[in-house]
Structure 1
Amino acid sequence: MADKLHFALVSPAKELFSGEVDQVIAPGTEGEFGVLVNHAPFMTTLKNGVVRVLEGDSVKMRIFVRGGFADVTPDGLTILAEEARNLDGVKVEEVQAEMEATLLKIQALDKDDTAKGALQAHFDYLESLKAALVH
């Protein structure tokens, strides 16, 4: 299909999407950007935010990413995300509960515990995810 963009989104856990779409809008560190078929090649880093996959003018899928890279080539767009979650079916209450559990774990650790940094990064990710769901 020459009039469609091949798009793949991969995280360390799994491939979340691979297929032909009309457009993808992603949260670049230098600002949000959109990619259509035959886009000029480029590579950029991503910030936490929502990747929107469009069919026509309708958003087909919303995927929250935590950092990563976007690579546009003549073959299409590939996003390699540090962490990604399809927003379909994700409930704010579940994210809030996970945030509270993570916060309790952080508070239970010594201030010098090396696990504290990873838990704080996860908490920050959950905060961004919750904000994306609310807006």
Structure 2
Amino acid sequence: MDKTLNLTIVSPEGVLFEGKVKSLLLPGVMGLFAVMPLHAPLITQLTQGVITFYEKEHKQEIVIKSGFVEVKQNVVSVCVEQ
């Protein structure tokens, strides 16, 4: 069983990240929330904050103004405004 997520983060400027990650933290309108492998399907709005994700052992962060996220079958698609 694959214990990673396929993450794509895009903005109007282009693709900010595309690859496999172990987990990520997102700034939701109700507060920060985590997405892990096998997460339930979800579509929600994002608010100003930082997306934090872990690619292998390397932590990466992207600051956003707003956006949306869809989680479905270990695929996470994020559309943001920076």
* Pairing of 1:70-89 with structure 2 (within 5 A): 70-83=69-82
- Does the 8 A contact of 2:39 with 2:74 survive in 1? no
**TM-score when normalising by structure 1:** 0.56
Instruction: Say which one has the larger Rg.
Output: 1
Question: Which has the bigger relative contact order, CA under 8 A and spacing at least 6?
Answer: 2
**TM-score when normalising by structure 2:** 0.90
Letter in 2 for 1:22: K
Q: CA deviation at 1:55?
A: 4.1
Residue 50 of structure 1 aligns to a residue whose secondary structure is strand
Structure-2 separation of matches of 1:78 and 1:36: 14
Q: How many residues align?
A: 82
Percent of paired sites with the same residue: 34
Letter in 2 for 1:81: V
- Does the 8 A contact of 1:23 with 1:36 survive in 2? yes
* Pairing of 1:49-68 with structure 2 (within 5 A): 49-55=49-55, 60-68=59-67
From the two aligned structures, give the one with the greater helix fraction. Answer: 1
User: Is 1:32–2:24 an aligned residue pair?
Assistant: no
From the two aligned structures, give the one with the greater strand fraction. Answer: 2
- Let me know the Cα RMSD of the aligned residues: 1.6
Q: Which runs of 5+ in 2 are unaligned?
A: none
